[in-house]
């Protein structure tokens, strides 16, 4: 059995810890190195007590010499860090980035939305933005795999097929997304120290959230029409999970049943995407601690409109689980390995 040696950078963040918890159950993976900065010398169980009895390496400071010993590098570092790491990759290495370093194809877009200059522009052509259910077949050509953000994952999975087959109007899409506060990273409570995150709902990034361009980029690839959408994210009083509500205008001669049928067919063989019965109520509670995305097509009070609901766990399907899905595809492992 093929066994990959894996290094995880940013291993102590919410997504990094979740990645460790999934990979210890993966039959084809050996976690060789866990890397951090302020956490050097600690056990990963310091950040999650459920890992206390697992045989895992202590956290070390990243060193380029480790690249000779590993096959896969998972990066859950802040934006900009994976770009620097990518310049040192060896022929045997594949980088799977869970942050935003290689999500955008244009360096000008990266500068505009992430407010920093791209540090590895020549590496972009070696990377692919890979939402597994849609672009998974293409990833074997690339050494850098960029996993979509959590919000775009919850939005693109239900929306992509409808834009692709020209079923809905693309000039006035309204997207309202609510996420658990873990999506803002381990420093979220310090950032919002004067607010009670467990009892308040907060809108942020209105009109200019950094996930806008990757949604736009993905949809532009499948339509010649200008896609115009408004996306507003919210921090919700829960730790994890995302619920996205998408309001759409139907094209002529398209109805709710047609939309539902197309989504069912598109995801029929995709084990992690569940298209529920029409008008099903979707809850983050149904997808927490899974790699699933639940999608519901709902009737509007207007006959020419529909409402899509989409729920995921931002730390798994919107992060670590998606990274593992891409790895499984890349190495022809069982599609669900480590994700059941």
Burial label, 215 (beta-carbon count in 10 A; 0-12, 13-18, 19+): buried
> For residues 332 and 51, what is the distance between their CA atoms, to the nearest angstrom?
28
**pLDDT at residue 257, as a whole number:** 96
Calculate mean pLDDT across residues 40-63.
94
**pLDDT at residue 136, as a whole number:** 80
Q: Which of 35, 147, 150, 293 is catalytic?
A: 150
> Can you read off the two tokens belonging to residue 3?
């066994």
The per-residue pLDDT for range 9-22, each reduced to its tens digit, is 999 999 999 999 99
Per the CB < 8 A criterion, the answer to whether 278 and 299 are in contact is yes
Going by pLDDT thresholds of 50, 70 and 90, the confidence category of residue 190 is low
Say which CATH topology domain 4-148+318-330 has: Rossmann fold (3.40.50)
**pLDDT at residue 194, as a whole number:** 66
Say which CATH topology domain 151-313 has: Dihydrodipicolinate Reductase; domain 2 (3.30.360)
> Can you read off the two tokens belonging to residue 227?
């896609």
pLDDT higher than threshold 90 for residue 193: no
pLDDT higher than threshold 70 for residue 48: yes
Q: Single out the residue of 87, 75, 25 nearest to residue 328, CA to CA.
A: 25
| 233 SS3 class | strand
**pLDDT at residue 188, as a whole number:** 64
Calculate mean pLDDT across residues 206-233.
91
Q: Single out the residue of 329, 318, 330 nearest to residue 291, CA to CA.
A: 318
Among 115-129, 152-166, 182-196, 241-255, the range scoring the smallest mean pLDDT is 182-196
pLDDT higher than threshold 80 for residue 186: no
* Cβ neighbours, 10 Å, residue 148: 27
The per-residue pLDDT for range 311-336, each reduced to its tens digit, is 999 999 999 999 999 999 999 999 99
**pLDDT at residue 126, as a whole number:** 94
* Cβ neighbours, 10 Å, residue 277: 8
Query: pTM of the predicted model, to two decimals?
Result: 0.95
Residues 6+ apart with CB under 8 A from 18: 315, 316, 319, 320
The per-residue pLDDT for range 261-293, each reduced to its tens digit, is 999 999 999 999 999 999 999 999 999 999 999
Element housing 129 (H / E): strand 127-129
Residues 6+ apart with CB under 8 A from 158: 244, 246, 263, 295, 308, 310
Residue 150 among the catalytic residues: yes
> For residues 255 and 241, what is the distance between their CA atoms, to the nearest angstrom?
30
For the chain, domain boundaries: 4-148+318-330, 151-313
Greater model confidence, 187 or 309:
309
**pLDDT at residue 200, as a whole number:** 83
Going by pLDDT thresholds of 50, 70 and 90, the confidence category of residue 191 is low
pLDDT higher than threshold 70 for residue 189: no
């Amino acid at each position: 059995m093929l066994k990959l040696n894996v290094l995880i950078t940013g291993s102590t963040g919410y997504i990094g810890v979740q990645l460790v918890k999934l990979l210890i159950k993966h039959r084809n993976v050996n976690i060789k190195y866990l890397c951090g900065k302020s956490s050097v010398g600690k056990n990963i169980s310091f950040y999650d007590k459920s890992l206390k009895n697992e045989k895992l390496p202590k956290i070390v400071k990243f060193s380029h010499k480790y690249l000779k010993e590993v096959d896969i590098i998972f990066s859950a570092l802040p934006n900009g860090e994976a770009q620097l790491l990518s310049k040192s990759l060896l022929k045997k290495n594949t980088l799977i980035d869970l942050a935003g370093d290689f999500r955008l194809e244009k360096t000008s877009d990266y500068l505009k939305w992430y407010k920093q200059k791209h540090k590895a522009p020549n590496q972009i052509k070696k990377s692919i933005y890979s939402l597994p259910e849609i672009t998974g077949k293409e990833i074997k050509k690339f050494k850098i795999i960029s996993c979509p953000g959590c919000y775009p994952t919850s939005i693109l999975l239900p929306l992509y097929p409808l834009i692709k087959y020209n079923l809905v109007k693309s000039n006035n899409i309204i997207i309202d997304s609510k996420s658990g506060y873990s999506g803002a990273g381990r420093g979220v409570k310090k950032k919002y120290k004067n607010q009670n995150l467990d009892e308040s709902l907060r809108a942020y990034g209105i009109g200019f959230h950094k996930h806008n361009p990757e949604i736009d980029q993905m949809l532009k690839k499948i339509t010649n029409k200008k896609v115009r959408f408004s996306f507003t994210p919210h921090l919700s009083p829960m730790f994890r999970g995302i619920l996205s509500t998408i309001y759409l205008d139907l094209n002529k001669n398209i109805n709710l049943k047609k939309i539902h049928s197309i989504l069912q067919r598109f995801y029929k063989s995709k084990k992690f995407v569940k298209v529920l019965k029409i008008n099903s109520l979707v809850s983050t509670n149904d997808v927490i601690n899974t790699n699933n995305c639940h999608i519901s097509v709902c009737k509007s009070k207007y006959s020419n409109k529909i409402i899509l609901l989409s729920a995921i766990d931002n730390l798994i399907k919107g992060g670590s689980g998606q990274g593992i899905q891409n790895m499984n595809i890349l190495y022809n492992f069982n599609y669900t390995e480590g994700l059941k």
